[in-house]
Amino acid sequence: MSHHTQMPKETGLDHSLKVLKEGYPYFLKRREEMDTDVFETTILGQKAYCLGGESGAELFYDTSKFKRDKAMPKPVQKVLTGQHGVQSLDGKKHEDRKKMFMSLMSPKELDRLTTLLENYWYQSAKKWESMDQIVLYDEVKEILCRTACEWAGVPLLEEEVKDTTRNLANLFEKTASISPSYLQGTHSRKKLENWIKKLVQQVRNGELKPEENTTLYVFSWHRDDIGKLMDEDVAAVEVLNIIRPIVAVAIYIAFTAQALIQYPNEAEKLITKGSKQYQYFVQEVRRFYPFFPFQAAITTKDFTWNGYPFKKETLTVLDIYGTNHDPKIWENADQFFPDRFNDWKESPFSFIPQGGGDHLGGHRCAGEWITIKVMNVCLDFLVNQLSFSVPKQDLEFNLTKFPTLPNSKIIFSNVKRTK
């Protein structure tokens, strides 16, 4: 007989509004109050388990107990992720699809992306020299849109750059906003899916011949375990699952710049301490700043964990932000301190800005290495290849916006290239 204990529980009717009102810290606040890595609450009109901390994350990524099919709320699918993509798959189907994504992530392909990115940064920086001031976040979104499309083998004309950047950004900027802004998100998704779907058709009928190592080629010709090509709609969703999040790295670049401005002592160390310090800085930006707030799954069976009974078919939420700020894992968790990564004992479940567990065997972010690479390249540019002034501006960020961003979006003036 297993011994059952009552799971800590937040009482009351439905707490969805509290999640929206309190924002990123909602789950950690409850976990600290109840001193627990797991508690039960009611959100989206249903009972839900909330997991966080190292032990909670480890449980969440146990694929014998949780599935992703139908876990993501529909409004999120209709804007951010699309439907029937890798995020919603389980078991063998997921493994096959995830292998397809990870096949793009070789060091050689990351180098190709780096070269494109450096080139577009350089061109933009030249343009900035003749401007009074720039909004860094907006500029970087455009740089990353050009980089992502070219890297993915997706043709993009100069006159399409502005609209495409805006539509891709709408997918992650408007997901969690209230209408009519949300409707712009659904509209952008429809447009983008139609666009990419046509390109997949053209690849398949031979009208368009992207390089064989590119996303567009690989995804258009990928055959699953039973030898079937993906539906055109699904192929479009998956190509967007590459180019959208590359553009979203702009949010981390805005926070990187915010950190350079707010923590001049840490910025100074980059100049005196060399390349390892860049890696610590990037990791600390990913830990410290709020981005992907939480992830959802559904229990596949009844089971007991640490004495707590879990019921089958129950929504379960992983607290990403709170795990990265968990005082049980991180000393002075609310301080920006890159050197903490100097002697960090690497664990797949304590540092989870882009999900935890395993890339191939689980749902951990397929683009984590791209993200880190892009952030390193941009940090180097900001520190070593540009000079700029920082006019008075509002650098705060609002913890109740998903995703959030420094309010000013980072304004630079007097931008000059130093190399």
Interacting residue ranges for ligand MYR, rule: CB under 6 A: 72, 76, 80, 172, 175-176, 244-245, 248, 292-296, 402-403
Judged by CB under 6 A, does residue 242 bind ligand HEM? yes
φ/ψ bin of 313: left (φ > 0), alpha (ψ from -120 to 50), beta (otherwise): left
- Of 199 and 415, CB closest to ligand HEM: 199
By CB under 6 A, residue 364 contacts ligand HEM: yes
The reply to whether 366 sits near ligand HEM by the rule CB under 6 A is yes
Residue 350 near ligand HEM by CB under 6 A? no
220 touches ligand HEM (CB under 6 A): no
How many amino acids of this chain bind ligand HEM (CB under 6 A)? 25
Structure tokens at 41: 């609450």
Six token digits for residue 257: 């710049």
Q: How far are the Cα atoms of 105, 106, 283, 367 from residue 110, in angstroms, in the given order? A: 6, 6, 18, 10
- The answer to the question of residue 241 lying near ligand HEM (CB under 6 A) is yes
Distances (CA, A) of 1 to 6, 65, 201, 304, 306: 16, 20, 58, 11, 14
Of the pair 296, 379, the CB lying nearest ligand MYR is at: 296
Nearer to ligand HEM, 57 or 208 (CB): 57
* Residue 364 binds which entry of ligand MYR, ligand HEM, none, CB below 5-8 Å type-dependent: ligand HEM
Which of the ranges 24-32, 242-250, 275-283, 376-384 carries the binding residues for ligand HEM, by CB under 6 A?
242-250
* Residue tagged 């793009």 (tokens): 104
Read off the amino acid at residue 302: D
| Binding of ligand HEM by 365 (CB under 6 A) | yes
277 binds ligand HEM (CB under 6 A): no
The verdict on 53 binding ligand HEM (CB under 6 A) reads no
Q: Is 406 in the site for ligand HEM (CB under 6 A)?
A: no
Q: Binding to ligand HEM by residue 236, rule CB under 6 A?
A: no
| C-alpha span between 200 and 101 (Å, rounded) | 16
- Residue 30 binding: pick among ligand HEM, ligand MYR, none (C-beta 5-8 Å cut-off by kind): none
402 binds, among ligand HEM, ligand MYR, none (CB under 5 to 8 A by kind): ligand MYR
Partner in contact with 176, chosen from ligand HEM, ligand MYR, none, beta carbon below 5 to 8 Å by kind: ligand MYR
Q: Is 214 in the site for ligand HEM (CB under 6 A)?
A: no
Query: Interface with ligand HEM by CB under 6 A: which range of 36-44, 247-255, 307-315, 339-347?
Result: 247-255
Q: How far apart are CA 112 and CA 210, in angstroms?
A: 15
- Asked whether position 354 contacts ligand HEM by CB under 6 A, the answer is yes
Report the residue number, 176 or 257, with the smaller CB distance to ligand MYR.
Answer: 176
Q: How far is the CB of 152 from ligand HEM (least distance, A)?
A: 9
Q: Which residues pair with 304 in a beta bridge?
A: 309
Cis before residue 327, ω within 30 degrees of 0?
A: no
The yes or no reply on residue 93 touching ligand HEM (CB under 6 A) is no
Q: In whole angstroms, give the CA distance from residue 371 to residue 355.
A: 13
Q: Which residues bind ligand HEM (CB under 6 A)?
A: 86-87, 98, 101, 241-242, 245-246, 248-249, 252, 291-292, 295, 320, 353-355, 363-367, 370-371
